[in-house]
Chains A and B, each alone.
Chain A
Amino acid sequence: MNIFNQAGKYFALMAKVFSRPERHSLYVRQTFNEIENLGIKSVGIVAVISVFMGGIMTLQVAYNMINPLLPTTLIGLGNRDSLILEFSSTIMGLIMAGKIGSNITSEIGSMKVTQQIDSLEIMGVNSAGYLILPKIIAVVLIFPLLYILSVFFGIVGGLIVGPAVGAVSAADYLSGIQFGFNPYYVTFSLIKCVVFGFLIASIAAFFGYTVEGGAFDVGTASTRAVVNTSIMILVSDLILTQLLL
């Protein structure tokens, strides 16, 4: 399908999403539900992936430091900055596009094909606003928190794996992660997280909301949502890095 056509439909949908809610209290209640459903339930996978990636990156940095003159404190520093700058924001964004994104697309898509969305419209409810806005707010709020958790667990991963395989002592690792810390990196990544959160929720919702057909089409839409979100995350990562760093 024509990409400009799609983009036009996406922005039209967003205009509907951000129009005035009928009942604030219901939207607030939905937002808390979504924070639990999409956010709290992602903490586990974020922790597991981050511990592993932190451990793996620590080993990678250690094996690549063949020059014995380089201090091993650089290992902790390398892991920390990779986590803060790219892994916990961008790679986590791609993973969340798969987890949260496909969840959103399939939920909204099934509501579409079973006429639940038509039901909302007939009642006089702005279905796009009621279904999508709480999800966008929830993901935009929780993604920065998941980022901070991911950085923390990634550093813990390095702390477990580094000393365990004898690549770096715990003391050197810990002093490494405190060395030359640039707080702006964190600010920069938090900005990215807000953008990624918005992209993940809104693009996934768009593909769900525009499904036509049946269960099969909902599956196709989920896949397309994940692919498109991933591309948009990488494109915006490139742009933001160029603009802000």
Chain B
Amino acid sequence: MIKISNIYKSFEQKEVLKNISMEFNKGETNLIIGRSGSGKTVLLKSIVGLLEVDRGKIFYDDRDFTSMNLKLRKKLRQEMGMVFQGGALFDSLTVEENIRFPLDMFSMLSSAEKQKQVDFCLDRVNISDANKMFPSEISGGMQKRVAIARAIVLNPKYLFCDEPNSGLDPETSILIDELVHQITVDLQITTIINTHDMNSVMEIGDNILFISEGEMCWEGNRKEILSTDNHKLQEFVFANKQYQKIRDDKINE
């Protein structure tokens, strides 16, 4: 479980996050949604500590992350995995070396055990025959999957994904969403995903935080989202006419 309370963050004069509080549950896919530029990435980066918040507190299972020193944070980070918007694979390393990197850095496993874990993770994200390829030689969807494999190789307790399916076709997007959802449920981890993709919201939105211009506007789950009476959220959700139709069908039923 991750809890954030009263988070503020600004860059110079510009206030990007204003008083955001939320609980992200374990074993669920927690979504942060909002328009482009609403502050999703800044919020996610603040939660993991890549950005320092100006005010507010962040708790990882009751451990106060905001007051930790660098050493304690580094320790805690070994329990985190993160998938970045562009994948952020190390382009000088092969697929297999990318996934093994966290193990080489932090685990005491023998190299046979490491190999087993790498193979397990590759299998988990349905990748085969790409072990020796470099990131530049595989497709964007595959890069995302490799990034997911790398993020879960140390059996994290917390998984963060910044727009895991941006730039992917709808079919692959759904596969990636399902993959992250499955991993979250199977491993009982706390997952936070940034997205502005309504398909993802309807597929895997167990617990949703909607932010608009850096302010929290709404929270709920995918069942509640279509019947919302929050205007800003309505604008966001029904920008795609398809969902208007789904809602109207539901009402008529």
Contacts and interface: CB of A to CB of B under 8 A. Distances in A.
Contacts of B78: 123-124
Contacts of B73: 124
B85 interface: yes
A198 B74 CA distance: 28
B251 interface: no
B250 interface: no
B90 A124 contact: no
A118 interface: yes
Contacts of A116: 88-91
A26 B86 CA distance: 26
Contact of B50 (A111, A114, A121): A121
Given A119-B82, A122-B82, A124-B75, A22 B88 contact: no
A13 to B, nearest CB: 14
B247 to A, nearest CB: 37
A118 B77 CA distance: 12
Interface in A72-91: none
Contacts of B86: 114-115
B105 interface: yes
A191 interface: no
Given A124-B74, A124-B75, A119 B84 contact: yes
Interface residues of A, number: 15
Nearest to B50: A118
B84 A115 contact: yes
B48 A122 contact: yes
A123 B77 contact: yes
Contacts of B140: none
A114 B104 contact: no
Interface in A108-132: 111, 114-116, 118-119, 121-126
A114 B136 CA distance: 13
B105 A26 contact: yes
Contacts of A23: 104-106
A23 B74 CA distance: 14
Q: Give the residue among A115, A119, A126 with the most B Cβ atoms within 10 A.
A: A119
B105 A125 contact: yes
Contacts of A26: 104-105
Contacts of A122: 48, 50, 77, 80-82, 160
A116 B76 CA distance: 19
A114 B88 contact: yes
B105 A123 contact: yes
Contacts of A118: 45, 50, 82, 84, 88
A55 B78 CA distance: 57
Given A23-B105, A118-B84, 20 more contacts: A22-B105, A22-B106, A26-B105, A111-B90, A114-B86, A114-B91, A115-B84, A115-B86, A118-B45, A118-B82, A119-B88, A121-B50, A122-B48, A122-B80, A122-B82, A123-B78, A123-B101, A123-B154, A124-B74, A125-B105
14 contacts: A23-B104, A114-B91, A116-B88, A116-B91, A118-B88, A121-B77, A122-B50, A123-B101, A123-B102, A124-B73, A124-B75, A124-B77, A125-B105, A126-B74
Instruction: Give 5 closest A-B pairs by Cβ, nearest first.
Output: A124-B77, A115-B88, A124-B74, A122-B82, A115-B84
